[in-house]
Structure 1
């Protein structure tokens, strides 16, 4: 295995290397070892290729492997039982049960194995037999029937940080078969050092699925196998959707609860960098969590006895203690579910040592009494948990076990256990992970299919009769990977596993040569077992459907049944009997709503035994113009002869039609700020790719796009797609504008529709208008209603992920915490994301993130900046970032940082923001004249802006109308400024207008009136040097800075961030006296965009020794 680390830290130099892109080139070559492994262990069946596709990225290479002969015959046995002769005598019922499910079972005694196979010891002999069974007999499942005194275990070695074990029981030894020894010793210990399963000696991927019935005597054996049979064949239906999650207190410093671990299992999601599926919604989940209150063993006993399907547990355990049970309390009196009154159940436990099978462990007790537990999945040694957190190897196995069934469709218990390991096999260099990998075993039937819902009847189609000599029988079901078994005279004569669609052509071990009726058994996940019969026909005619071909000369001529097409069938019947069928007539029928049969009867004449009769254009029909693609139409065929003998058969037809799927919605706002988000006031192009994934060319297709918000407008809601060929695609393109008044973060639902003839495709896309971001670039916590709790407040700090500032946890002592929290009202479902970094004492001090009091994840040690994202539903929520310290020791810089928080759509009310333009009024006016100018007051924030305006100084030549007003978000109001030079002498007059926003903020607009007897010209000079201000303020992306020079001066204007660092020099040169403006577009001296936040601009002149500093706010 190769592990790739894109981040590398050198603790000596303090350098951190990051590789944003790594190209890995792998060259393969045939070797004797690889060729040996390929020839002995590779299978080219569907199950193997499906499993491979989940494990590798270059799935196309699978097709380059030569096909192996995977056909099943009478000498193949996929289910192997290993036990001693004494136990085998008691297992006939179980062997017949598994055969009845469609498994070909081979039972092999240990006495036979020891006599027939060599090995370094008896465990090696058994493994060599399993290898032989896998290579030559098609073995898939291995049941070890007996405890280690009957079927020995192999003890593995692991050293996990000083916790060392030389004898860890692991049935992986019997599962991983393709390890080729290259040293002097056997597989799994090639260097003969006594340390079995060192990293370089291990085979982490199982060839077979192993389970064990760890019984000491025949009484325990019979109790265990009875539960296996009853659970699988006759469950108590009412209990199958009942689940109990059991979590105990694991640690009190810091407090650590099993309930937190179990919550991750039930809910599913992304925790500690791992994404797994949660439980299906139909399951009824009860919890016994010490986190939420105490519970007794009696409470759990009652739940077990009253009917559950499985238990998932985490708590301290031992060889004789688990879930508050001791060995002596596990009996038929305390646990009373007997499979008739209530269902047997499955236990999965992360506890330490319950399955230590070299002892009389408690897992053996649970599985070998008459009542209670049918399968136990647990640890033979210590389970691993994380104090104060949930990031542990045992937790990963647990989550992946249930992800196998609820996320990947793997439903058999040992396959689930193996998948839970193999999903993380690349981590096996970590000894703690390898420890958990080795120790998890299954006590029960490895092929047991776990119920997850009330079973339903399956839909099954197969021939009601066959003729002597038949060897291949097609089956169609609605169950992926259904298992079919055929029996004649109580003997298994053939079996097969369906494909992912539920279909299979079953080939019998030998052609059918006797006339006895064949019994059919079909099983599948969450399905009632189907039992049926097939009649074997002899010494009479028997006419059935054989084949058809489509004649669509009146359609598109592709010989396929396409939508809206008139077709005829060239139809073939076969006489599978051994007597002639005279004057045969056949009639077809179907109850399918998408087919109209216009000619349903045809004559086929006399059909000799084992011969066919073909009639051209025998039947005619019309397919509906809205038939779904790949819709399967079932036809019944009734054939009869001149003596009124009637035979029934069926056939199916798969229709071809267009089928559309849309890709993601792309926003091209290159004419705006080019951030891929539709922002308020922005016009953008929306592009949606549409593909025809169906099996027929589409009619002319037209798409439309509408929004659920009136402030979103379209140039046109229609986009033509044209005719889409099979696998063809086209882009739907729409020009869209978001009104400037739409609130930032508003979630807009876009509904997309494709219409092509009678086919309609709908989907929707949620898109926020702008991003609601807290990046702390204001240099404070005032942008949102932040709160602090705990022993210290959070602080604004440098070292940000983005921009200049981030939030950092305050300085803490021991046993303390600092919490940054915010209460919000989300107006729609959406994602909350943020970046975080931690530098702390590993595994003791943590940054934890909570939503509504529930911890989502935690981080400890030296954790670099990375983004976390969580789905949040509409409604009220509390988000908390908490840095906690334990009772001693400090590690790293002992703090956590958070930055660039993107909120989901918020119902939070944003304050109004006043913007006044222009930022300076400088007018020329003749004496005894009046003049009017306009100032615009706009609200670029939220809510309602209530403003006032007043004239500075006692002047009578300046007036404003109105002097107050209210402006809604995104709106603007004009203020008329009147200049009156009546009776005024030539000269320059100055004043100002003070605009106040009612929230303590104000904007001052300098006003200069230049009075002249004649035309004042354009060469006016202010009476004094002054920095007037910038407008607009706040701004995005450009603001204009206005200033006046009373004499020719050398002027310098510099921009500084909130830390006092110079960002840009706007001007540094000699300028003439007069009024001036200069623009800043938000770029620094390196021509890089600056982040949003507070900035200061300073003006200095040499000649007048003038200096002034003002503040401005850049919003993005």
Structure 2
């Protein structure tokens, strides 16, 4: 949901369809809709579930009302319309407001009730929910009245001291959470109040950073009703990232209600490899020699975090200037490195490597230097590509960014030379094409877009189709582009292009060569070009053509079944009802088995190393065609399986 431009967090709708009164503005669905709008905007009910329930309550008297346009329709509409989503989700119809909550921060145990007031800009807020939670349990719940006041009753009363939370939520506002403390009704009670960070021995910014020695100026408070005498405090932490060097402090006498601060009360060192924004949990025990009180608190530590983005290829000087790595070129890889962490870093260094021996670097290190918080730097590496590298070879780059004890690695993929099908072999053997339908595609020298050859759809009749498909894996986002031409009955017979089950484009009528390009996401995909005819009439040449298909730069074409010996991977039964077996010597070594559908969605994934070479797979899927992918450290094989 965070990577797409729109989405629904919750939906109120009919699972089948709504009902209306023909020729009227009234009707079951319209009535429910009006009451939902009234609940949201007039009654200002914050939660979607409560507003929806109110809409049904207010519509209930009409269920058996006489003279309905369609008897029983409203009752069925009640069953049909539902909320899909979290019923407690708050609905906003405006920018959320800031609220003020007045409440007692300390509540003596045994207190029967407290008053809470909620307002905004001095105006009382009605229908705001006030909740007190303690130790994961609901202890009180109330709703504010027209004066913004809520009486929170404890039934049963709280009889144990300790921390609790007051959560206030309502119409067009963010939930407000406040800490409260249940204190003893008698005696002293000393708890943690607050701490000030003293990092004078570090960078002096008043925050906890990696590798620093920290002093805590810590305040404790006597929330009891009598003086606490001779108070001693001990600090502890189970965090692996801190080492306490001074964990005890004498505070002495503390009067009831007094807050006492000791400078340099405690000290600790922070690990030099602590992750950024790590939350450190501390426990403070205080005692007067007779009673011991325990309270906890958290502090956050900062560290650098380096990340890279925006890899570009520059081959303007020693290449053809197309921004693409090609055999025999010398080029420059450039990345943007950003310090995403909350601490500055010093002496950062970037190192690059490739899994492809045909890629060699003049120097594989780059001195980044110092980067402040959100600081950015461009890093560049010059590389040479072996002139004998086959076009379409995929290569991996690993960019390691190091500073002090930290190391971060990002992986990039690129293709050497275009992965392009131009059909200049004179047939369909350059890639692992599958041609089918009612007639196969074939390669022809009839008016290609470029070169001597192009591909043409097969000769088909009414209600038939001719398909050209290929299965590929992309290691990153990219684009598929191609040139197409069509001569058909306009508006009825089409050349259609699919990625998985999704139709991306269609063309009909008389059109000369045109360019098309579509984005392809990372993963497995089946690409299909299909010339499809309707039930009657033919127009033009009644076919379509393709040329110069350029695959995404990180593409690996996957061989599907035709190049796999029959005895190397056996699937039985095939077809099946969703449960089947694989039998292959490949499964007797470390391998990964995946099953994915026509859209490229992975439905099953399993790491295997089975001496028997047999694996049972069960799919809870609908009928259709699926692909079984077996990958070892040496090869990738794919087989088809049909579920009926």
TM-score exceeds 0.5 = yes
List aligned pairs for 1:3-14, cutoff 5 A.
Answer: none
Alignment of 1:766-915 (within 5 A): 766-775=413-422, 788-789=435-436, 790-791=438-439, 793=441, 807-809=455-457, 812-821=460-469, 833-835=480-482, 845-849=493-497, 855-857=501-503, 859-860=505-506, 865-870=515-520, 880-888=528-536, 896-903=544-551, 904-906=555-557
User: Which residue matches 2:27?
Assistant: none
Q: Secondary structure at the residue paired with 1:868?
A: strand
CA distance in structure 1 between the partners assigned to 2:74 and 2:542 by the alignment: 45
Match for residue 242 of structure 2? 595
Q: How far apart are the structure 1 equivalents of 2:222 and 2:269?
A: 28
Superposed CA offset, 1:825-879 (max 9, x none): 879888672336687779964544567xx644364466985323445768xx975
The answer to whether structure 1 residue 619 and structure 2 residue 266 are counterparts is: yes
1:543–1:684: structure 2 CA closer, same or farther, 3 Å change rule? Answer: same
Deviation at 1:538, TM superposition (A): 2.1
Structure 1 unaligned residues grouped into runs of 5+ = 1-49, 57-119, 154-214, 218-355, 368-374, 378-400, 402-410, 423-462, 473-482, 496-506, 523-532, 909-1116
1:698-755 Cα deviation digits (max 9, x unpaired): 1211110011122211111111110111111112221111111222211111111111
2 CA distance for matches of 1:122 and 1:704?
A: 63
SS at match of 1:131: helix
1:412 aligns with 2:53: no
1:42-81, aligned counterparts within 5 Å? none
Deviation at 1:819, TM superposition (A): 2.4
- Report the alpha carbon displacement of residue 577 of structure 1 after superposing the two structures with TM: 2.3
Corresponding residue to 2:303 among 647, 654, 657: 657
2:314 corresponding residue in structure 1:
668
**In structure 2, C-alpha distance between the alignment counterparts of 1:779 and 1:701, rounded to whole Å:** 53
- RCO higher in 1 or 2 (8 Å CA, sep ≥ 6)? 2
The reply on whether 1:754 has 2:469 as its aligned counterpart is no
Residues 149 and 751 of structure 1, relative CA distance in 2, 3 Å threshold: closer
Residues of 2 paired with 1:818 and 1:623: CA distance?
Answer: 67
Deviation track 1:311-355 (CA, whole Å, cap 9, x = no partner) reads: xxxxxxxxxxxxxxxxxxxxxxxxxxxxxxxxxxxxxxxxxxxxx
- Equivalent residue number for residue 108 of structure 1: none
Q: After superposition, where does 1:637-716 map in structure 2 within 5 Å? A: 637-642=284-289, 644-671=290-317, 672-716=319-363
Contact 1:566–1:621 under 8 Å retained in 2? yes
Any idea what SS the aligned residue of 1:771 has?
A: coil
**Is residue 358 from structure 1 mapped to residue 73 from structure 2 by the alignment?**
yes
Matches of 2:210 and 2:32, distance apart in 1? 65
Residues of 1 paired with 2:457 and 2:242: CA distance?
69
What pairs up with 1:1038-1049 in 2 under 5 angstroms?
A: none
Taking the aligned partners of 2:166 and 2:502, their CA distance within structure 1 comes to 46
Matched, 1:143 2:57: no
Q: Quick one: distance in 2 between partners of 1:701 and 1:683?
A: 26
Deviation of 1:640 after TM superposition, in Å, equals: 1.3
Q: What residue is the counterpart of 1:1059 in the other structure?
A: none
Shift of 1:626: 0.6
Per-residue deviation at 1:553?
1.2
Normalized per residue, the structure richer in strand is: 2
Q: Contact 1:585–1:604 at 8 Å: present in 2 too?
A: yes
Report if aligned partners of 2:35, 2:58 keep a CA contact under 8 Å in 1.
no
Q: Which residue of structure 2 aligns with residue 542 of structure 1?
A: 189
Which of 141, 157, 160 is 1:516 aligned to? 157
Q: Is contact 2:222-2:254 (8 Å) kept?
A: yes
Distance 2:244 2:224 in 1: 29
Change (3 A) 1:508 1:547: farther
- Report if aligned partners of 2:139, 2:155 keep a CA contact under 8 Å in 1: no
* Deviation, structure 1 residue 788: 4.8
d(CA) in 1 for partners of 2:190 and 2:543?
82
Asked whether the 8 Å contact 2:315–2:322 carries over to 1, the reply is yes
- In structure 1, the partner of 2:220 is 573
Scaled by the length of structure 1, what TM-score is found? Answer: 0.37
2:133 is the alignment partner of 1:133: no
1:434-473 → structure 2 map (5 Å cutoff): none
Aligned residues: 472
The equivalent residue for 1:605 is 252
Shift of 1:127: 4.5
Q: Helix, strand or coil for the counterpart of 1:143?
A: helix
For residues 842 and 860 of structure 1, the distance between their equivalents in structure 2, rounded to whole angstroms, comes to 11
Please say if residues 810 and 895 of structure 1, whose CA atoms lie closer than 8 Å, have aligned partners that are also in contact.
yes
Q: For residues 586 and 768 of structure 1, what CA distance do their matches in structure 2 show? A: 63
Separation in structure 2 between the aligned mates of residue 492 and residue 685 of structure 1, nearest angstrom: 64
Matches within 5 A, 1:106-255: 127-128=37-38, 130-134=40-44, 138=46, 140-141=48-49, 142-144=51-53, 150-151=59-60
Whole-angstrom CA distance in 2 between matches of 1:710 and 1:812: 48
* Change beyond 3 A, Cα 1:893–1:517: farther
Contact 2:423 2:547 in 1 (8 A): yes
* Cα displacement (A) at 1:814: 1.4
Bigger helix share? 1
Distance in structure 2 (CA, Å) of the matches to 1:634 and 1:730 = 35
SS of 1:144's equivalent?
helix
Structure 2 residue 387 is the aligned partner of structure 1 residue 740: yes
Distance 1:617 1:511 in 2: 40
Match of 1:582 in 2: 229
Deviation by residue 1:37-61 (Cα, 9 ceiling, x = unmatched): xxxxxxxxxxxxx99x9669xxxxx
Kindly tell me: are residues 878 and 655 of structure 1, through their superposed partners in 2, closer, same or farther at Cα, counting changes over 3 Å? closer
1:576/1:609 contact within 8 Å kept: yes
Cα offset, 1:559, TM superposition: 0.9
Tell me if structure 2 keeps the 8 A contact 1:147–1:357.
no
Change (3 A) 1:494 1:616: farther
**Post-superposition CA distance 1:427-457 (Å, at most 9, x none):** xxxxxxxxxxxxxxxxxxxxxxxxxxxxxxx
Q: CA deviation at 1:151?
A: 3.7
- Corresponding residue of 1:1082: none
Give CA deviations for 1:465-524 in whole Å, capped at 9, x if unaligned.
Answer: 87878979xxxxxxxxxx9942799741589xxxxxxxxxxx9956999993188899xx
1:646 CA displacement: 1.5
* Higher gyration radius (CA): 1
How far the C-alpha of 1:571 sits from its partner, in A, is 0.8
Written as runs of structure 1 = structure 2, the 5 A alignment for 1:556-567 is: 556-567=203-214
Please give the residue correspondences for 1:417-436 in structure 2 after superposition, counting only pairs within 5 Å. Answer: none
Structure 1 distance, partners of 2:58, 2:156, is 47
- Cα distance 1:577–1:616, how it changes in 2: closer, same or farther (>3 A)? same
Q: CA deviation at 1:588?
A: 1.0
In structure 1, C-alpha distance between the alignment counterparts of 2:385 and 2:402, rounded to whole Å = 26
Structure 2 CA distance for aligned equivalents of residues 807 and 415 of structure 1: 54
Gaps of 5+ in 2: 8-29, 66-70, 94-104, 118-128, 168-179, 560-644
Partner SS for 2:468: strand
Give the TM-score normalised by the residue count of structure 2: 0.61
The 3 A distance-change label for structure 1 pair 663 and 896 is same
Q: What RMSD over aligned residues (CA atoms) do the two structures have, in Å?
A: 4.9
Among 249, 271, 275, which residue is 1:628 paired with? 275
Query: Are residues 604 and 54 of structure 1, via their aligned partners in 2, closer, same or farther at CA, if it must alter by over 3 Å?
Result: farther
